[in-house]
Structures are given as C-alpha cells and as structure tokens.
C-alpha cells in the first residue's frame, strides 16, 4: 500500500494535468466512435485480395502475386504505414498489441469486438504463411528503396516485390521472437472463438520461438541493406526473446517458459531501457506483462519484473519523468525519434494495463518517497487519449475522421491519390508526385488513421512531405484500440 504522504505526489501531478487540460480545452469524447474508427483503419492498410465485407471501399485488391518469385504465397497482411512495403517486424508487433488489447479489454469493446478480432486474423493469416516453411521465416515483401522512390497506389504497384527471409545462416531472433509473441497472444484471442485455429497459432508460435532462440542474431545484421534504416533493430534481439517467452508462458502455462524467463532475465537484460516500448524495444512491455503474475500472487520469483515495471511508471510521470521523456506545453508525451504518437499510445496502453493489474492487487507504485495510484495512471493515460482526440492547443483531432477538425493531407499513398473508381487508369511511379506535392486535401479519407502527431511545441504541419508528423502507422493504432475500448466503457 502507498504511504500517506504519497497523496502529495498525486495531487501535484493532477494539478499539472488539470492545468494543461484547462489550457487546451476539454470536452466529452465519443470513445466508442473513436474505437470503431481506430479498428476500421486497419481495413485501409490491407494488402492482398480484399474480402466481400471490406468497409473502406476506395481500397481494392493489391499485391496479389507477393511471394510468387520465391515460390511461396505471401499475399495478405498489412502495409505498415503510408507506403506499400510489408515489413513483418512492425506487423507482428501490431498483431501482439491488437491481441493484448482484446485480451485485456474485450469486455469493453461491445459491438466492435468482432471487427477487432478480424483485424488480428488478417495479420495472423499472413504470419502463418510467412512461417510455414521449416527453418525459414519470410520477414519482408517489397524493396523499400524502390517503393519509396515512387508515389503510387498499392493497386498500381509495379515496384520490386523482393522477398526477404531469415534462416539458420541468416538469423533474426528479433523478428522471429516478435512473430512468436504475436502468434501466442493471438492464440489466446481465438481460444474461445475457434479452438482449432488457436491451436494452430500456438503450435506455430512454439516452433518459431525455438528457431529464434536456437539461431540467435539480429535480422538487421543479416538483412541490413533491406531493412535499414526503415525497421533496423537498434536495441538488439534479446528483448524479443524474453517477450516471446513471456507470451508463450501466458498462452501455455508451461513451466519451460517460466524457467526460461527466470534463467535469462539478466542475460537478456530485462531491466534495460525501462521507459521505451514499441516495435523495436519491448522492455517496458515485458515487465508490465510479467508483473501481472507477481501482483496476482502467483510468481514471487519474478518480483524483479514488478520492480522494473514500477521504475518504468516513475520514469514517465509528469514532473518527475526521465530526461528521455518530455511533455509538450499541451501535455503530450514526447520522446526522440520518428512518429512520436507510437510512444504516446504504447506507453499509455502500458499505464492503463498496469493500473488494472495494480488495482486487483490493491497496490500503488512507489516513486522514491511517494506513490502513484492506479487511478492516477488511468488519468494520465486518458489525458493522452483526449489529446489525440482534440483536447490540445491546435483543437485538432489527430485521428482522421474523428471530430470536426483533423489532418487532411496525411502522408499516405492510397489516401492521397485518386481511387481506382475515380481514376481507373494507372498512375505511374512518378506521375503520383503531383498529388504528393499538391496543397489539396487527400481525396480518400483513411478513417481512423492516427498520424505521427505534433512536435514538442504542439505545432503540426498538415502536409504530406512532413512524414514524421503526418504519416499513420498500424503500430500507433494497435494499442489505442485497447485504450479506447476501456474509456468507451468507463466514461
């Protein structure tokens, strides 16, 4: 339990947050509408043959021959952002976070649960294809340099669809570990919905993890020219091995994964980079995920993970946060790097998930001589969500299609170019440039897309060339699904 004087910290932080909210305006949000749109976004990112129930109608079939040159079927899956490459590393992380959102918050999703599950399955169907060949994992489809030199619709794509793989001679424990985590997490989602599919996912997760652990190395070392600087693994592969083991333990309850976590905690540096969580760095997520077991009283030998999770929380709190975490004048979490909103949604998701685990254990987080309550963590997470939805100095929703004022010129090929219905003729590689540089709004609204967001001064250039601010990604939306589900049920 928290010491009595911990209320001083909570009062101070709440005062900061409330003053920020007063300065930037506050209104009631329709969180369920935002939830619906955040899931709908994934349909706009689909690759392959689109299903009859496709709701974003301006998108059509694309990349129907992916994998053919390598003799495999790699159609389907998601484009990660505003380009037309399928990067499996961020796609798998997106899948893990979508699954975690459902596992923890499915009771809050209401009528959107079915759509959330479909979003997961679109990814897992692809991940099963990518891992179907023994000893080989396909980790990327499309040459990023070729793709990024063009501005064309995925439906017109004529850039190189090169297939990249890892194997025992070209290891990639990071991407393989993340795929294992994604498949294991998704197996929990489908356990009560489709037991045979759930079993298939879990069996594949076990095999993929064994491969990742046996053949250790970073995929950006094996495939440097293809994956760097786009989704280069800057933080090493060790965290993905622990992450994969943690999800396999959660999905199987097998002792071998528990023992793996205990044995490798120090070797694989579980306590590193505690205030980071995203497609490249899983440390904070590992600690929060495993802490649930500790807080439930089922894993005293894993207490150090809870200590790490508490340290993560203290490093993010406004007023006492780590130098690597700042808050804009309007109250937005800001961290160095591209696409800041990925940090906002992922870190907020961990705050919300951890606050629930803490609540069940009647526990608060000690931050030095102070403590932070579960209610405070929820308040901070909600403040970030509200900022995204329009409670900010720009009075702008950073989710396309939500609210009266949102980005109109997002950095996204399919959204910014005329649809096939409006312009049936092909638009070539360089012909799309005039649309890229046009000051006009995008002709196709990518409903639910959350862009990279404003900078440290809360300013936002609504223009395609500013990709760091105006490009949406799947891994921004995935944790936001869980956040919006919770707040739609509780506010």
Active-site position among 411, 412, 458, 469 = 411
**Active site annotation includes 411:** yes
First-to-last CA distance in the chain?
Answer: 27
34: left (phi over 0), alpha (psi -120 to 50) or beta: alpha
Q: To the nearest 10°, report the CA torsion of 458, 461, 466, 468.
A: 20
What Rg do the C-alpha atoms of the chain give, in angstroms?
Answer: 21
The H or E element that residue 357 is part of is helix 341-360
Tokens representing 296?
A: 């439930």
Length of the chain: 491
Residues 6 or more apart whose Cβ sits within 8 Å of residue 446: 41, 44, 56, 400, 401, 410, 412, 414, 415, 472
- Nearest CA-CA partner of 221 in 286, 182, 170, 270: 170
- Nearest CA-CA partner of 153 in 474, 408, 422: 422
The H or E element that residue 424 is part of is none
Nearest-5° Cα angle at 317, 315 to 100: 80
**Active site annotation includes 423:** no
Half-sphere exposure of 278 (CA within 13 A, CB side): 24
Q: How many angstroms separate the Cα of 225 from the Cα of each of 80, 232, 364, 388, 418? A: 19, 10, 46, 35, 32
Distance CA 402, CA 387 (A): 13
Residues forming beta bridges with residue 372, ordered by sequence position: 365
Within 10 Å of residue 35's Cβ, how many Cβ atoms? 30
3-state secondary structure 91-111: HHHHHHHHHHHHHHHHHHCHH
Active-site position among 33, 61, 167, 462 = 462
Beta strands 163-167 and 326-327: pairing type?
unpaired
Which residues belong to the active site? Answer: 411, 462, 471
């Amino acid at each position: 339990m928290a010491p009595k004087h911990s209320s001083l910290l909570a009062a101070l932080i709440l005062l900061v947050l409330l003053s920020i909210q007063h300065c930037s305006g506050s209104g009631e949000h329709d969180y369920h509408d935002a939830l619906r749109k955040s899931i709908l976004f994934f349909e706009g990112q689909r690759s392959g043959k689109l299903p009859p129930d496709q709701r974003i109608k301006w998108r059509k079939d694309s990349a129907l021959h992916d994998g053919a040159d390598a003799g495999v079927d790699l159609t389907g899956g998601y484009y990660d952002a505003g380009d037309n490459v399928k990067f499996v590393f961020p796609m798998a992380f997106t899948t893990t976070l979508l699954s975690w959102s459902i596992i923890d918050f499915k009771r809050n999703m209401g009528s959107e649960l079915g759509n959330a599950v479909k979003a997961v399955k679109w990814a897992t169907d692809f991940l099963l294809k990518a891992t179907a060949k023994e000893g080989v994992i396909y980790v990327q489809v499309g040459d990023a340099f070729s793709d990024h030199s063009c501005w064309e619709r995925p439906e017109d794509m004529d850039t190189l669809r090169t297939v990249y793989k890892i194997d025992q001679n070209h290891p990639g424990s990071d991407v393989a570990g993340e795929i294992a985590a994604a498949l294991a997490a998704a197996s929990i989602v489908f356990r009560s919905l489709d037991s045979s599919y759930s079993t298939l996912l879990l069996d594949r997760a076990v095999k993929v993890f064994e491969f990742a652990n046996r053949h250790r190395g970073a995929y950006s070392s094996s495939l440097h020219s293809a994956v760097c600087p786009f989704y280069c693994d800057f933080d090493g592969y060790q965290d993905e091995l622990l992450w994969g083991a943690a999800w396999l333990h959660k999905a199987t309850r097998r002792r071998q994964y528990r023992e793996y976590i205990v044995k490798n905690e120090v070797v694989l540096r579980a306590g590193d980079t505690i205030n980071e969580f995203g497609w490249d760095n899983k440390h904070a997520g590992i600690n929060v995920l495993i802490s649930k077991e500790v807080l439930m009283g089922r894993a005293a030998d894993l207490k150090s993970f809870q200590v790490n999770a508490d340290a993560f929380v203290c490093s993010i709190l406004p007023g006492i946060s780590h130098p690597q975490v700042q808050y804009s004048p309007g109250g937005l979490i800001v961290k160095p790097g591209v696409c800041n909103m990925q940090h906002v949604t992922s870190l907020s998701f961990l705050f919300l998930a951890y606050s629930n685990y803490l609540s069940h254990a009647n526990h608060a987080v000690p931050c030095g001589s102070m403590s932070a309550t579960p209610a405070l963590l929820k308040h901070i997470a909600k403040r970030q969500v509200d900022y995204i939805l329009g409670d900010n100095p720009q009075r702008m929703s950073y989710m396309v299609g939500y609210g009266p004022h949102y980005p109109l010129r997002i950095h996204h090929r399919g959204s910014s170019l005329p649809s096939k219905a409006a312009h049936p003729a092909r638009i070539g590689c360089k012909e799309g440039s005039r649309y890229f540089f046009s000051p006009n709004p995008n002709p196709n609204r990518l409903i639910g897309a959350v862009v990279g967001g404003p900078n440290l001064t809360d300013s936002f250039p609504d223009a395609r060339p500013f990709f760091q601010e105006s490009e949406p990604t799947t891994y921004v939306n995935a944790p936001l699904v869980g956040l919006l589900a919770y707040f739609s049920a509780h506010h």
